[in-house]
Amino acid sequence: MTTPYYTLYRNTKLGSTLEEAIEDLIEADRITDELKQDILSQFDKSISDALAEKATNTASFKGHCMVFKQPAPTVRNFHLDSVKFKVDGREVEVDFVNIIACEATASKEKTAGGGVKKGGSKDKKKKLAPPKNKKRKNV
């Protein structure tokens, strides 16, 4: 049985390129659909683990929350306008950004994408609260 990890990194350039390469191999009858799923599951695990271990930068941002959605109990989607990011002392402004926030625990079994390995810690999880109203709000 495979361990569940978030699949959101498949939407990155690296993930979509991997999927295109796998589709080419399937069309050439070099691999099966079952192997495709195994490869993508391993990609989900590997990228989550690598980001959890190697990503050290922190960033802060401020913008106007235009849309908030909660498509699943542990997932929050935010659409922000007029966003200012601060990373390593530099400031960058963008017109809009979409953020997908996934819940994670504080245990060592946490993954960068927020996925928690089965049987993970039952520590209290930090909840993301939705905006109180749907009008423009600073985040």
Q: In which domain, by residue range, is 125 found?
A: 57-103+115-139
How many structural domains does the chain have? Answer: 2
Is 2 a domain residue? no
What confidence tens digit (pLDDT) does each residue in 54-108 have? 888 888 999 999 999 998 888 899 999 999 999 888 999 999 999 988 876 533 3
Q: What is the structure's pLDDT at 79?
A: 94
- Let me know whether 30 and 70 are in one domain: no
Distance CA 48, CA 120 (A): 15
Distance CA 10, CA 82 (A): 27
- Let me know whether 44 and 70 are in one domain: no
The predicted model scores a pTM of 0.56
What confidence tens digit (pLDDT) does each residue in 16-58 have? 999 999 999 999 999 999 999 999 999 999 998 888 888 888 8
Is 19 a domain residue? yes
What's 72's domain CATH number?
2.30.18.10
Distance CA 136, CA 66 (A): 6
CA 106 to chain centre: 16
Is residue 17 within a helix (H) or strand (E), and if so which, with residue range? helix 13-27
Rg from Cα positions in the chain: 18
- Let me know whether 62 and 130 are in one domain: yes
- Let me know whether 50 and 65 are in one domain: no
C-alpha distances in Å from residue 14, one per residue of 17, 21, 32, 57, 103: 5, 11, 21, 20, 23
Is 110 a domain residue? no
- Let me know whether 81 and 20 are in one domain: no
DSSP state letter for 126? P
